[in-house]
Each structure stands twice: as structure tokens, then as C-alpha cells.
Structure 1
């Protein structure tokens, strides 16, 4: 039974890390699901109340980091709300339209398209907004990855 439990928990953590670069997968929820599975298989008593409070705060931080990094990236490079929305749509659609490279090309193309089509920005400014979106996305992946590692390390320390 231990083998099944830990396989499922590790599978949840693995899916969470895949979710860092595939935004349709709710990464933070899979990390949290791993903790819940541990509680169901072993005991929730092994994980104290402060652990759950800390982990919920980390989940909230993950959601905030995702939105903030993208918005700051686009804004820092002169983009507008149209660029931010285009980037967000590109992050979600890109991997399905352009397999493998869509996760990087999607936010860039989405931001550029948003700036060109909605705000009628010039090509140079639209490309800057696209670059900002790409930088924001990559920053978001790095920050969220670090937070997820901290969440899992805290779990390992508390659970063992």
C-alpha cells in the first residue's frame, strides 16, 4: 500500500511541475492534492495545522505570481491591457496550436496580436510588448517552480 500511496503522491508532484510550462494544468492544486493524498493514506494528524496554513498561503502566492509576472512583463515593456489579454490567451492556446514551441510562442504572438489589432500600436511597440510577455512568462515559471519546491520540501520535512 505504501508503494501505491507514494507513487500517487509523486505523480501529483510531477504533474504539478509539468503544469509550470503547461498552464492548462493547475500546478498548485496538484501539489496540494499530493498533500491530501498523504493525509488520506496515512493520517492528517501527521501534518499539523500550521503546515496547512502555510501551504494554502503558498497556493495563493502561486496564483498571484502567475498573474503578476505576466502583467509586469507586458507593462514594463510598454504593453497595454490588450497585450496582457493577448498574452494570457496565447499562453492557454499556444501549446495546442504549436506543439512544443507554443508555450513560448503563444504568449509572444498573443501580446503582439493584442497590441496590433486592438490598440493599433506600431509593429515595434507590439514586438516589445510580446518580448515583455515572454520574459514575464519565463519569470513566472521560475518563481512558481521555486515556490513549488519550497512547498514540497516543507511537506517532506514535516511528513518524515
Structure 2
């Protein structure tokens, strides 16, 4: 049973890394589930502190995934219309079957939102949309790093308890 939990946990970690790059899958959440499955084995003693801290990191990163693109829009001079456009565009981009909709949605949303705010200032709209895109890339990069850290932690736990697991 331990080998099965270990295998499923490792698959969750790998899917989580993939999910950190594709917003359709909650990358850090799936990676955290892989760590939790590892602690369900009989070979590794449960450490609720580690599970709680990693869960907290997962929740914070998941919330920041929606906040950072909007902050990028604001940082690059976007208005509230651009921020709302970013958030709406992100949701529409994820839900529509358009290739790379998760990248195009926030950019177009911020652009359209800024054009609603000031239809004559196209340069401001492009600047805000660029900020949204950079914010999205930053958020994705942070998620990817967290998932890689979870992978490293997973491997170190398996290595530490390899005699009991195998």
C-alpha cells in the first residue's frame, strides 16, 4: 500500500508541476495532495506542522494567482476598469476552448477594460494589458517554483525514509 501511495503522490507532484504552467489545473494544490499522500504511508510519520505550513503556502499562492495579474495592471497605470477586465478576461480565457486563452484573456480583458475607461488612449490600454500579462507570467513563475520546491521536499522525504518505503 505504501508503494501505491508513493506512486500516486509522485504522479500528483508531476501533475501539479504541469498544472502550475496550465491554469486549468490547480498546480500547487495537486502538488500538496502528493505530499499529503506521502504522509499517509505507514513508513513516514505524520508531521502536521509541515502539512499545515505547506497547505498555507498553497492557499496563499492560489489566492495570489488571481491577485498578481490585477496588481500588474495597476502597476503599469491601469484603472479599475483594467483590473476588472483582467479578472474577467482571466476567467473567460480559462473557460473558453481557445488555445492559450488563459494568456490571451487577461491581456484582452485589461485592454478592453481600459478602452471602456478612456476609448481614445490606446497606449494606456496597451500598457495596462502588458502589465496584466507580466503579472500573469510572474504568478505562473511563482507557482512553478512552489511546485518544484514541493517536488524537492517529496524527494527528500522519500530519500530519508527509503529503507522503510522499499
TM-score, normalising length from structure 2? 0.79
1:72 deviates by 2.3
Q: Does 1:144 align with 2:136?
A: no
5 Å-filtered alignment, 1:8-47, equals 8-40=8-40, 42-43=41-42, 46-47=45-46
CA 1:36/1:51 → structure 2, altered by over 3 Å: closer, same or farther? same
State the TM-score, normalized to the length of structure 1. 0.82
Query: In structure 2, which of residues 118, 132, 135 is the aligned counterpart of residue 120 of structure 1?
Result: 118
**Map 1:81-92 → 2, pairs under 5 A:** 81-92=80-91
Unaligned regions of 5+ residues in structure 1, if any?
A: none
Q: What is the CA deviation profile of residues 87-120 of structure 1, one whole-angstrom value per residue up to 9, with x for unaligned ones?
A: 2222232253421x32322211111112213x23
Give structure 2 stretches of 5+ with no counterpart: 161-166
Structure 1 runs of 4+ off > 4 angstroms?
none
Q: Would you say the 8 A contact 2:108–2:129 is kept in 1?
A: yes
Q: For residue 29 of structure 1, report the CA deviation from its aligned partner.
A: 1.6
Q: Which moved more, 1:144-153 or 1:134-143?
A: 144-153
**8 A contact 1:73–1:136 mirrored in 2:** yes
What's the Cα RMSD here?
2.3
- Select the structure of larger CA radius of gyration: 2
- CA gap of 1:154–1:67, structure 2 versus 1, over 3 A, is same
